[in-house]
Amino acid sequence: MELVIQSDAERAAWLVASLMAKALRRKPQLVLGLATGRTMEQVYSYLVHMHRKEGLDFSLCRTFNLDEYIGLPPEHPGSYRYYMNRHLFTHINIDRRNTYLPDGLAGDLPAACCRYEETIRETGGIDLQLLGIGADGHIGFNEPLSALRSRTRAVMLDPSTIAVNSTLFNQSSEMPNRALTMGVGTILDARAVLLLVTGKAKADILAKAVEGPVTSMISASALQFHPACQVIADEAAAERLLGQDHYRRAFAHDPDWQEFRNLGPIPKIAS
Ligand code: GLP
């Protein structure tokens, strides 16, 4: 695992978008794993900017989202399909048929989950998985006690997740308490993983996830098993990390990071 600390949330999101853009330029048929949540909005706004200003090309790429609520139609503003269309897909040149989310409306949910896994396999697997972290350490919707080898499946959301995420719904009662999510095992199968963590509220869970013991109580801690996992945090989220000096030194001197040390001015994007 590599950990990079950036001065603020904008810079952290810009670095993540730049790493994704580099992977896409190197392999136009990239299979991307995508995440939702407030943290990712900035990343997507930068990718849209790169598409508009630098012609970043999504025409051949395929995407798989981590999760989707059960029972919400795509046109529901709380659904993750709606989120993805709003923040990314409608603004870039991706073929919408190449964008996949678990089917939370399926009559047979276990069958839909198996199909999702199969479709990922058929595309050759996820090249680069983008991740955020929930306050309880979830990745995707892998709540505490999710098996470290779990696959895509239906889950009950934790009350703490419902409390946080229901603020994104017009009426909190509209928020489903179940979702489909890629499993921890599905996520660990991605060839590379990029975890973005920003803000003081995530400082405690980030330290536990990356410097604490691996435990199914904190799904993100399973990323310690991943051979190519980069964690990008801002100062606020990094505040409780014991190894800060080492992480800063590695980023400052490792030749692999050279092109990302001075990314220049970050574009101002109207929200
Ligand atoms: C949701 C998503 C996660 C995401 C998390 C963090 O629960 N299922 O994939 O990482 O939110 O969201 P935020 O960035 O809003 O803190």
pLDDT digit string, tens, across residues 104-153? 999 999 999 999 999 999 999 999 999 999 999 999 999 999 999 999 99
Is any ligand 1 atom within 6 A of the Cβ of residue 199? Answer: no
> pLDDT class for 166, splitting at 50, 70, 90?
very high
Percentage with pLDDT > 70 across the chain: 99
What's the whole-number average pLDDT of the chain?
Answer: 97
Q: How far is the CA of 39 from the centre of ligand 1 (A)?
A: 7
Q: Both tokens of residue 212?
A: 């604490």
Residue 15, SS3?
helix
Q: Centre a 10 Å sphere on the Cβ of residue 81 and count the other Cβ atoms it contains.
A: 23
Q: What is the mean pLDDT of residues 43-48?
A: 98
Structure confidence at residue 172 (pLDDT):
83
Nearest atom within ligand 1 for CA of residue 179: 8
Q: How far is the CA of 37 from the centre of ligand 1 (A)?
A: 4
Q: What is the pLDDT of residues 53-78, one digit of tens each?
A: 999 999 999 999 999 999 999 999 99
Q: What is the mean pLDDT of residues 231-254?
A: 98
265 exposure class (CB count in 10 Å sphere: 0-12, 13-18, 19+): exposed
Q: What is the mean pLDDT of residues 244-257?
A: 97
Q: What is the mean pLDDT of residues 163-188?
A: 94
> pLDDT class for 271, splitting at 50, 70, 90?
low
Diameter of the chain measured on Cα atoms: 53
Does residue 7 have a pLDDT over 90? yes
pTM of the model: 0.97
Separation between Cα atoms, residue 263 and residue 13, nearest integer Å: 12
Does residue 169 have a pLDDT over 80? yes
- Pocket test of ligand 1: the residue of 39, 70, 80, 206 to mutate, having most ligand atoms within 8 Å of its CB, is 39
Residue type, 169: F
> pLDDT class for 173, splitting at 50, 70, 90?
confident
Q: How far is the CA of 253 from the centre of ligand 1 (A)?
A: 32
Going 114 to 73 to 94 to 170, the CA torsion angle's sign is: negative
Going 108 to 103 to 166 to 221, the CA torsion angle's sign is: positive
Q: How far is the CA of 131 from the centre of ligand 1 (A)?
A: 8
Nearest atom within ligand 1 for CA of residue 199: 16
Separation between Cα atoms, residue 241 and residue 5, nearest integer Å: 10
Query: Considering only CA atoms, which of 153, 196, 158, 204 is closest in space to residue 177?
Result: 158
Residues designated as active site: 67, 136, 138, 143
Strands of the sheet containing 62-65, edge to edge, are 2-6, 229-234, 192-197, 128-131, 31-34, 62-65, 99-100
Is any ligand 1 atom within 6 A of the Cβ of residue 43? Answer: no
